Amino acid sequence: MATPVWYTPASELLRQYRSKELSPVDVTRAILDRIEAVNPKVNALYLVDHDRALAAARASEERWWRGEPGGLLDGVPVTLKDHIPAKGLPSPNGTRATDLDQPWDSDAPVTARLKEHGAIILGKTTMPDFGFVASGISTLHGTTRNPWNLGRNSGGSSSGAGAAVAAGLGPLAVGSDVGGSVRIPSAFCGVFGLKPSYGRVPYHDPWPWLVTGPITRTVVDAALMMNVITRPDRRDYTALPYDARDYLVDLEAGVAGVRIGVLLDIGFGLPVDPEIRTHVIEVGHTLQKLGALVEPMPPTFADNPEPDFDRCLQVRASLSFAALTPERQRLVLSEIAEWCRRGTAPTALDLMQAIANTGAIRRRTLAAFEKYDYVISPTMPVLPYDAELPWPVGGSAHNQFCFPYNMSEQPAASINCGFSREGLPIGVQIVGQRFDDRGVLQVARAYERASNLHERPPRLS
C-alpha cells in the first residue's frame, strides 16, 4: 500500500518536489484536510494558520517549478509548540492565565531559521500550563490524546507536537525539553524526538537545561531539521559555537565497534514496567547483532537527585506564577498552581544548596559514561497512562531517565522500540557524550533501519 501524502516523511517529500511528482500545495492541502478530519479527536493543534500556510505553499511551489528551492526544507510543513514565538501567532504557554491581547511580533530563532529555509508553518501545537507536567492537559487547550489510544496520555510537555507527528498532522514538529518534554511525548506517541546538547539549537529565552529539538517520524527527518535549526542566532547568549556539520553525512555509519551500556535501573524513581524492560533489552540485542559492544550497566545514582532538580525548577516557576494577578493565578491548572506556590517556601540557603547539588548530579551522570560511547535506557518507566491524569499513578517523579541528561547537557533521543500487549508505543532512549548529537542520530538510525517501526501509523480514521 502506498504511503499517504500526509504520512510521507519530509525527506521523501523533498525528493518528490525535486522530481515534480508532488508539489508543496498538494502536500499542504492534504495535511490541512487530515488536520480537519483528525485533530478534533486528538487535539494536537490549537491553532491552524490555514490561509498563510497555503500562501506559503504556493510561493514554495513556484520556486520548485523554477528549479530554485529557497532552502533545505522548502515546502515542508512544520508545527511549532505553543510557546515557541512566531510572528502573528499567539504563544499562550498552554494556560488561560496568559493575556492574549499582545502583539506577538517576534520569531524565535528556530522559527526564523525554518522560515528562511522555506518550511511552511502550519500552526501551533498544544502544551500543558507552563509546560510543567508530562501530560497533555491544559486549562486553555483541553486534553491532548494519544493517537494510538485516545483514552491514553500523549505525554508532555510537547504533547501536541508528539501527537501531531504520530497522527500525520505534519512530518516535522518543534518541541522543547527541560526534563523530558521532547522525549516523553515521542515515547508515548511512537515517534522520534531528539533533545540536542544544551546550546546546540539557539533558544529565544535561554535558561539552564532548556533546549529546543525536533520531533519527527524518522531519524533522517530529524537530521534534516538539525541542519536548519542549529544555525546561529545572536539572541542566545548560551549557545555553543556554531558547528556547520551536515547531520546527514555519515548518518548510515552504523554501530560496529561502538560501546553501549544498557541502563535498566538508574537508581531511583518509579519501577520500570516489565514490558518496557523486555523491549529495551531487545534493543540491546539488536544493536549487538549490528556490531556494537553492548553490556548491562549498574545504577547511576545511589541517592535520589530529583528533589534538587525539582526545587530549582519550582522556584523559577514560582517567580512567573507570582507575577500573575490573583485573578489570573486562579486560572492556572490546579496541580501546577499548587506546585508553583510551594516554590516560594524554600529559603535562599535551601535554593543555593539545591543549586550546589546539581553539580554533583551532573558529575555523576557524566561519570557513568566513562566506559561507554552511548547508553540506552527506557525513555519512561511506565506506559502511556490515562489521558486526563497530570502524571501516572504512583507519583510525579516518573521522568528519572530523562532529566539527568538535561542537567549534564548531553544529547538524548527517544525512538519507538515496539508496542505493549495493548498496542501502546514503547520508547527507548539513546544518550550520547556531550556534544555528540550526530552520534546519537547515527545509533538511532541504525536501530531504525533494523526495526522499521516508523513505517506503522496509528489506526485513526
Of 60, 154, 158, 181, the catalytic one is 181
Please indicate whether residue 414 is annotated as part of the active site.
Answer: no
Peptide linkage before 157 cis (omega within 30 of 0):
yes
SS3 state at 55: helix
C-alpha span between 200 and 202 (Å, rounded): 6
- The alpha carbons of the chain give a radius of gyration, in whole angstroms, of 21
Asked if 262 and 277 count as a contact pair (C-beta separation under 8 A), the reply is no
C-alpha span between 132 and 134 (Å, rounded): 7
The whole-angstrom distance between residue 206's C-alpha and the CA centroid of its chain comes to 17
Phi, psi angle pair for 15, to nearest 5°: -65, -45
Residue with cell 515546502: 75
Of 81, 115, 124, 195, the catalytic one is 81
Cβ count near 250 (within 10 Å): 14
Helices (H), 8-124: 10-18, 24-42, 50-65, 109-116
> Across-strand partners of 416?
427
Of 157, 159, 186, 414, the catalytic one is 157
Residue with cell 501509523: 457
What does the block give as the cell for 188?
508515548
Closest CA to 187 of 215, 151, 208, 209: 215
28 to 87, 341, 367, 452: CA distances (angstroms): 20, 44, 47, 26
Asked if 115 and 95 count as a contact pair (C-beta separation under 8 A), the reply is no
Asked if 17 and 69 count as a contact pair (C-beta separation under 8 A), the reply is yes
Please indicate whether residue 420 is annotated as part of the active site.
Answer: no
172 to 5, 9, 73, 160, 440: CA distances (angstroms): 14, 8, 10, 12, 19
Contacts of 177 (CB under 8 A, 6+ apart): 158, 183, 193, 195, 210, 211, 212, 213, 402, 406
458 to 12, 146, 150, 279, 454: CA distances (angstroms): 20, 10, 11, 19, 11
Please indicate whether residue 371 is annotated as part of the active site.
Answer: no
One-letter amino acid at 374 equals Y
What does the block give as the cell for 308?
534538587
Asked if 216 and 191 count as a contact pair (C-beta separation under 8 A), the reply is yes
Active site residues: 81, 157, 181
